[in-house]
Amino acid sequence: MESFSFFETEDKSTGLYSNVIGDIFHSRTGALKEANEKFINPIFENLKNKEKIKLLDICTGVGYNLKAFINKFIKKEMEIDCIDINDSFVKISPFLNDGIEDKSIKIFILNEVLNSNISLNDLNFKIKEYSDFDIEHFFDKDILNLMSFLLKSPYDLNQELKKDTFLHNIYYNYISSSNYEPNLSKLYLNKTIKYHFNDARIVLKNINTTYDVIFLDAFSPQKDPTLWTIDFLKQIYKLMNDNSILISYSRSTPFRSALVELNLFVGKTILDNVDIGTIASKNKNYILSPLSSFDLDLINTRSGITYKDSNLNLIASDIIKNRTFEQENSCRISQTMFLKNY
């Protein structure tokens, strides 16, 4: 069985479904749309005046949040760290039909992936694994052609790929002959992406900096709570300065409860009056829609008991089992009883 499958989402961007976890990577309403609505739009106001942004993208996958971020803040200087336990997704990221019109973003990502110990042959090999799928439909033909060209060409791929030559020559010679923009490469010379392919719990132990924005896009807490435990969130907390923003699509009570326990200001991201995710910061001014008294009371029920992983090494099923045991032995009111009395 393939470990994942592709599907077309409603905005025509390609989504992934994990056959192993039994969970979608991306919303059926649109993979790119979801990235914009849940991760990019809610942070835009707070970051629009910054010249340089440091981003930590936890669970990069095929990189929708990453691409949407670059697309939105294209003129800014960026320093980006990406983490995923599995490098397979990053290997297909530059080639997916992702709905991003600006193909230079995919070429920039291709360049950064090639600079992270992944060769063009690796990428080619990975794409061939999916030749059973409807490649034409789920992948970007132009970027696939570019890969074939690079594989055949004398282009010196052994030397570190220089962003200016790579982006500039490749983009205009092989992707677009129109809309000549002589300063294209300048947009990317001030941006770097560093990929970390390991369990985020291990990667974070070795990071010694803070970020302006942290994306948390792990699989849902009910399916895999590994990156939603209070102990992992404590690790994230250490990477936050007074103005950092943590953002996630998850609205789960144990997740929000852990953020509150860590003394972060916690709010909801709202779209059309609907609660679509969570935002947290040490800066109260960044939280436009704080959790309501209902949300805070819910946190005090059994459903607000956090997932725990004090040594940052438990498997998902043990984290779930331990929490269930703690809930069963808790004197807190159950969520059902709370909702009945409310």
Ligand X SMILES: C[S@@+](CC[C@H](N)C(=O)[O-])C[C@H]1O[C@@H](n2cnc3c(N)ncnc32)[C@H](O)[C@@H]1O
Least Å from the CB of residue 277 to ligand X: 13
How many residues bind ligand X (CB under 6 A)? The answer is 20
Single out the residue of 5, 41, 71, 86 in contact with ligand X (rule: CB under 6 A). Answer: 86
Element (H, E) at 276: strand 274-281
First-last CA distance in the chain:
46
Single out the residue of 100, 227, 247, 260 in contact with ligand X (rule: CB under 6 A). Answer: 227
Q: Is 84 in the site for ligand X (CB under 6 A)?
A: yes
- Closest by alpha carbon to 166, among 116, 92, 98, 110? 110
Using the rule CB under 6 A, give the single segment among 55-63, 71-79, 125-133, 331-339 that binds ligand X. Answer: 55-63
* Ordered DSSP codes for 285-300: GG-SSBPPHHHHHHHT
Interior/surface letters 283-293, b for 16+ CB within 10 angstroms, e for the rest: eeebbeeebee
Q: Which amino acid is at 53?
A: I
Contact 7, 17 (CB under 8 A): yes
Least Å from the CB of residue 172 to ligand X: 28
Least Å from the CB of residue 96 to ligand X: 9
Q: Is 59 in the site for ligand X (CB under 6 A)?
A: yes
Single out the residue of 212, 217, 231, 295 in contact with ligand X (rule: CB under 6 A). Answer: 217
Q: Which is nearer to ligand X, 26 or 268 (CB)?
A: 26
Q: Which is nearer to ligand X, 150 or 204 (CB)?
A: 204
Least Å from the CB of residue 200 to ligand X: 4
- Closest by alpha carbon to 41, among 244, 213, 283, 261? 213
Q: Which is nearer to ligand X, 226 or 269 (CB)?
A: 226
Single out the residue of 32, 47, 83, 240 in contact with ligand X (rule: CB under 6 A). Answer: 83
Single out the residue of 32, 218, 236, 259 in contact with ligand X (rule: CB under 6 A). Answer: 218
Q: Is 219 in the site for ligand X (CB under 6 A)?
A: yes
Q: Where are the alpha helices (DSSP H) in the chain?
A: 31-35, 41-47, 64-72, 88-92, 103-114, 120-129, 135-138, 141-152, 163-165, 184-189, 200-205, 230-238, 253-261, 293-299, 316-328, 335-341
- 303 contact partners, CB below 8 Å, separation of at least 6: 253, 254, 327, 334, 335
Q: Is 85 in the site for ligand X (CB under 6 A)?
A: yes
Least Å from the CB of residue 306 to ligand X: 17
Single out the residue of 62, 70, 110, 298 in contact with ligand X (rule: CB under 6 A). Answer: 62
Q: What does the DSSP 8-state code read for residue 115?
A: T
Q: Which is nearer to ligand X, 62 or 247 (CB)?
A: 62
Q: Is 100 in the site for ligand X (CB under 6 A)?
A: no
Q: Which is nearer to ligand X, 30 or 63 (CB)?
A: 63
Using the rule CB under 6 A, give the single segment among 153-161, 204-212, 218-226, 324-332 that binds ligand X. Answer: 218-226
* Ordered DSSP codes for 148-193: HHHHHS----SSPPPHHHIIIIIIIIII-SSS--TTHHHHHHTEEE
Q: Round to whole Å and give the CA distance between 193 and 191.
A: 7
Residue nearest to ligand X (CB): 61
Is residue 75 helix, strand or coil? coil
Using the rule CB under 6 A, give the single segment among 4-12, 214-222, 282-290, 326-334 that binds ligand X. Answer: 214-222
Q: Is 65 in the site for ligand X (CB under 6 A)?
A: yes
Q: Which amino acid is at 316?
A: A
Binding site for ligand X (CB under 6 A): 25, 59-65, 83-86, 89, 199-200, 217-219, 226-227
